[in-house]
Structure 1
Amino acid sequence: MEALHVFFLTSPSPVTAEPFFPSIRLRRRRRDLPFSVEAGQQEIRVCTNRTCRKQGSFQTLETLSGLAPPNVAVKPCGCLGKCGAGPNVAVLPDGLIIAHCGTAARAAEVMMGLASEGEGSGSYDVKKSLDAFALRKRAEVEFEKQNFTEAELLLSQSIELKPFGGIHVIYKCRSAVRLALSNYSGALDDAREALALAPVYAEAYLYEGDALLELKQFDSAEKSYLASIDIDPSIRRSKAFKVAFNLWRQLFRYLNHLYFIYLVTICFPVY
């Protein structure tokens, strides 16, 4: 279904801050970080330099990415301090530094802390969100094995858990599964659910276009495809996009050809 630079930091300046959860003490500091994010957006940077990589930073990156709500971007970066000895996670635009985030549970706690700001930490359930993420990963395995019915069931169970983040990705994944099952209306509904949660989610536009194409709504399919590459031009180079877009063009040309024949027949009837 369905990717590093070393950044230099100024001297750290410790601040006093309450942990995300009263029972969990996270060592956090603020630093002036040399990267920026768009207004209203948050971004998490995870060190994936050599030493941190050996300690499982890619797993941390994957977990944070899978649990992130639409307004939080998760990206890899280079050293944030003493590589391998922390810190390994930075939160922007606050410049918040987390000393060590090396397990799925800790990654979920960090992400939940961001998601629940202003809503109270009791608004979400970390375990349910991790379970939902695990179900999605299992569904991806089943999808690769072409066990589409099982994949759809797992993704539906994941959605029912109502995770605090990543649900737009789950809807997108289920849209892909339903396309494979020829459930085109269901695939379209899921793609649109994903877009309702994440309006600039390029992959969801791509699956929306695929579903519309199968439903023979060609003009709408074109708009979805163009929206996807407008948001993320790199999609244009993907194999899936090339196949889908070429199919759309072939069908569109074929329909134009039929329409031309129809006009000729009407204008020049043969008696």
Structure 2
Amino acid sequence: MAMAMPMAVARVTSLACAPRQAQHRRRHSLAPPCASGAVEVRVCTNRTCARQGGREVLAALAGLAPPAVDVASCGCLGRCGAGPNVAASVPGSTAVFGHVGTAARGAQLLEHLLGPAEFDAALGLTALATREKAEAALEKGNADEAEALLTEVIGFNACGGLHLVYMSRSKARLEIGDIPGALGDAEEAIRIAPRFPQAHLLRGDTLFAMGEYSVAEDAYADALDLDPSIRRSKSFRARVERLREKLVSANNP
């Protein structure tokens, strides 16, 4: 007769399977969706705008925008040839802006929408450029350099993209071996942008590195609740398999 699967292993296996039933576990509290009064920015990534740099502008705006600004891609906005086109909605008003083809134009648009008191375009661009430099250093294996640059970015006190900065510094600190610091940064990213699934995945990675496998599972489940599509990604499946192996080992010493 087959033995029953240990509960912890059964839970982690469910992460890779069909959508889960609600489970009564201690989980990271997830914030509600953005309020209807939030600023929304939609970047056209349809064929013509994509060729004109729409995807790059989308990435730049996502890295520049404060948490109150919801940035996402969209389909054609009907002004082909004047792109990349960006639709922006603030309470009571919606407009389409053309020729938003660079990070600088995107930053100017955010400053226009939010006002200079809420968003400083020049400071945002400096922070974005430094973060990108740090992430390039991290990709090359220079985690110490990346960590120092990202700490510098945090010191700029720019209002946008901070969740991405803390996430990148968490990755750098994980590489260095500063696991408590990495966990603190992942949790700060969640505090800033609680509905950003990648921050929850990173929190799970740091908890996994600490040997806190059950809590890591909860963090991965939080990410899955926010974006069920990540279940299909190779990286998520690899996380689940790695976690399953650890839980099997823990249950079979």
Q: If the length of structure 2 is used for normalisation, what is the TM-score?
A: 0.78
Q: Is 1:60 matched with 2:74?
A: no
In structure 1, what is the Cα distance between the partners aligned to 2:132 and 2:83?
28
Judge conservation of contact 1:139–1:152 (CA < 8 Å) in 2.
yes
Q: Which runs of 5+ in 2 are unaligned?
A: 1-33
Query: Paired residue for 2:179?
Result: 184
Query: Paired residue for 1:223?
Result: 218
Q: Secondary structure at the match of 2:41?
A: strand
Judge conservation of contact 1:65–1:74 (CA < 8 Å) in 2.
yes
Query: Paired residue for 1:92?
Result: 89
Query: Paired residue for 2:45?
Result: 48
Judge conservation of contact 1:129–1:163 (CA < 8 Å) in 2.
yes
In structure 2, what is the Cα distance between the partners aligned to 1:71 and 1:122?
14
> What letter is aligned with 2:169?
R
Query: Paired residue for 1:256?
Result: 251
Q: CA deviation at 1:231?
A: 0.6
Query: Paired residue for 1:167?
Result: 162
Query: Paired residue for 2:68?
Result: 71
Report matched runs for 1:199-210 at 5 Å: 199-210=194-205
In structure 1, what is the Cα distance between the partners aligned to 2:213 and 2:79?
54
Q: CA deviation at 1:87?
A: 7.8
Q: CA deviation at 1:253?
A: 1.7
In structure 1, what is the Cα distance between the partners aligned to 2:51 and 2:143?
34
In structure 2, what is the Cα distance between the partners aligned to 1:206 and 1:53?
29
Query: Paired residue for 1:152?
Result: 147
Query: Paired residue for 2:233?
Result: 238
In structure 2, what is the Cα distance between the partners aligned to 1:91 and 1:144?
33
Judge conservation of contact 1:129–1:162 (CA < 8 Å) in 2.
no
Q: Secondary structure at the match of 1:95?
A: strand
Q: CA deviation at 1:125?
A: 2.5
Q: CA deviation at 1:86?
A: 5.5
- RMSD of aligned Cα (Å): 2.2
Query: Paired residue for 2:189?
Result: 194
Query: Paired residue for 1:110?
Result: 109
Query: Paired residue for 2:19?
Result: none
> What letter is aligned with 1:205?
H
Query: Residue deviations 1:27-66, cap 9 Å, x none?
Result: xxxxxxxxxx962443211223343334333332222111
Q: CA deviation at 1:218?
A: 2.1
Number of aligned residue pairs: 218
Judge conservation of contact 2:54–2:84 (CA < 8 Å) in 1.
no
> What letter is aligned with 1:56?
G
Higher relative contact order (CA 8 A, sep 6+): 2
Q: Which runs of 4+ in 1 moved over 6 A?
A: none
Judge conservation of contact 1:80–1:87 (CA < 8 Å) in 2.
no
Q: Which runs of 5+ in 1 are unaligned?
A: 1-36, 259-271
Judge conservation of contact 1:143–1:151 (CA < 8 Å) in 2.
yes
> What letter is aligned with 1:109?
Q
